[in-house]
Structure 1
C-alpha cells in the first residue's frame, strides 16, 4: 500500500509541474539553466518514476531515478529557505522544514531500489 501511495504522490506531483509550472520556476535557484525546461523535465521524471515504481519490472530503476531526482531538486528547498522574502505566503519555519524533509523522501524512494 505504501508503494502505491508513493507512486501516486509522484504522479500527482509531476502533473502539477504542468498545471502550475510558474510555481516551480519560482523556486528554482538562479544558477539552474533553462528553468522552464527543467520544470517540465522534472515533471516528466516524477510521472515516469511514480508509474515506474508501481510496475515490478521497472520498480528498481524507477526508484533509483527518483532518488537521483530528489537529490537534484534538494537545492531548491535550500534556496527557498535562504530567500524567504521571495515566498511571502509561506511561513519561514515551513521553508526550513522542507530542507530536512527531503531525507525521508529519499529514504522512501531508496526502499524500492531493493526490489
Structure 2
C-alpha cells in the first residue's frame, strides 16, 4: 500500500472513531454527562449532546476529501477542547476511590489526547491540495 493509501486508512479510522463516539454520546449520554466540567454554562446534557453531534460532523467531514483538511484541523481543536472533561474524569476517579485499574486508565487517557491531536493534524495534511 502506498503512503497515500495508509494516510487515507488513517483518516478513515479516525472518522470511524469519531462517528462511533458521537453515536455513543447521543445514545448513552449519562456517562458523558458526569465528566462535563461544572464551570461550563448550561446543563451537562447540552454539552454531551453538542459534543456528540460535533463528533458526528467531524467524522463525516474526514471521510470526504474536500472537507478533510478543515475537518482534521477542527478535530484537533476538538480533542484539545475536551481535555478538561478527561481531566475531570481522572480527578473524580481518584476522589471516589475507583479501582486502581480505572484510576490508571483515566490517567492514561490524558496523553492519549495528544496522540489524537496529532492524528487529526495528519488527516488535515492529507486533505491539502
Compute the RMSD of aligned alpha carbons: 1.5
Corresponding position of 2:6: none
CA contact (8 A) 1:11 1:47 kept: yes
Residues 16-54 of structure 1: per-residue CA shift (max 9 Å, x gap): 011111111001111122221111111111001001011
Instruction: List structure 1 runs of 4+ shifted beyond 4 angstroms.
Output: none
Give the deviation of 1:88 after TM superposition: 3.3
- Give TM-score, length-normalised by structure 1: 0.92
Deviation (angstroms), 1:86 = 4.7
Consecutive unaligned residues in structure 2, runs of 5 or more:
1-8
Would you say the 8 A contact 2:10–2:123 is kept in 1? no
Q: Which residue of 2 aligns with 1:10?
A: 18
Larger radius of gyration: 2
| Correspondence for 1:55 among 39, 56, 64 | 64
Q: State the SS of the aligned residue for 2:82.
A: helix
* Count of residues paired in the alignment: 115
Deviation at 1:73, TM superposition (A): 0.4
- How far the C-alpha of 1:2 sits from its partner, in A, is 1.7
CA contact (8 A) 2:69 2:123 kept: yes
Taking structure 2 as the reference length, what is the TM-score of the superposition?
A: 0.82
